[in-house]
Amino acid sequence: MTALLEVEDLRVAYGKIEAVKGISFTVEAGQVVTLIGTNGAGKTTTLRTLSGLLKPSGGRITFDGKPLSDIPAHKIVALGLAHSPEGRHIFPRLTIAENLQLGAFLRSDKAGIEKDVQRAYELFPILGERRKQAAGTLSGGEQQMLAMGRALMSQPKLLMLDEPSMGLSPIMMQKIMATIVELKAQGTTILLVEQNAQAALSLADHAHVMEVGEIKLSGSGQDLLHDENVRKTYLGED
Ligand SMILES: Nc1ncnc2c1ncn2[C@@H]1O[C@H](COP(=O)(O)OP(=O)(O)O)[C@@H](O)[C@H]1O
Ligand SMILES: [Mg+2]
């Protein structure tokens, strides 16, 4: 079986500085795959390249059997790849409902869109309760929920989440992680980028540790969770 996403020897540079130095990994349908690593490892650069926001300087990306090189970002969304970006980037002056609608900008099936809005409210009841309020009034964790809900509105085959736990309280972080587990149980395929290695490894089928642009270690989430070097370097143990 071919993987839903295949990344082969991907390279991405900002000018002369290579931020991603030839990484390879795959995501199979139904899996949660995580990229972990400290600040500056190249995780966000990788996701932005998969989304078509940055151009690779080398390598190949194949999504759902199609090469992604030279496909513009909006067409990549149409192919089924959605991105909940680092920092969330919700529209603070628009309402929660309007933010969700924007995630469906490529769709015209009104009834289907409404069904998926309701699904987002089931997943995150707080969004439903506050649907008519400006999104800027939400807490950081609630804005993260909105960013995830908005990404799901394109009915993606692959959902990419960039640091969903960033800046959140432990309780809110647990809520977000529990939602990722729920989405996986519903069959959503997820590529999760996290600095919070403990949380990400606990729920991932496969994990890759990135350091300064390279994948240094790969394995199942459980294997890496119990790996001595990973525990020392990323889980703060000595
Ligand atoms: N817009 C940019 N211009 C130049 N360098 C950048 C830019 N964005 C990121 N970088 C550099 O690329 C490297 C990888 O960054 P990034 O992908 O954001 O890492 P991560 O998401 O793992 O923290 C870092 O050295 C960072 O400073
Ligand atoms: Mg990042």
What does the pLDDT look like over 199-209, one tens digit per residue? 999 999 999 99
C-alpha distances (whole Å) from 73 to each of 51, 83, 196, 217, 235 are 6, 10, 28, 30, 35
Q: Rounded to an integer, what distance in angstroms lies between the CA atom of residue 185 and that of residue 178?
A: 11
At 176-190, the pLDDT tens digits run 999 999 999 999 999
pTM of the model: 0.95
C-alpha distances (whole Å) from 169 to each of 18, 64, 92, 128, 236 are 34, 36, 21, 22, 18
Residue 23, amino acid: I
At 219-234, the pLDDT tens digits run 999 999 999 888 888 8
Residue 166 is given by DSSP the state T
Ligand 1 site-directed mutation target among 45, 195, 216, most atoms within 8 Å of CB: 45
C-alpha distances (whole Å) from 49 to each of 46, 78, 136 are 5, 16, 28
Q: Does the CB atom of residue 44 touch ligand 1 within 6 A?
A: yes
At 26-77, the pLDDT tens digits run 999 999 999 999 899 999 999 999 999 999 999 999 999 999 988 999 899 9
Nearest CA among 198, 87, 200 for reference residue 146: 87
Q: From ligand 2's centre to the CA of 86, what distance in Å?
A: 6
Q: What is the pLDDT of residue 235?
A: 78
Q: Does the CB atom of residue 87 touch ligand 1 within 6 A?
A: no
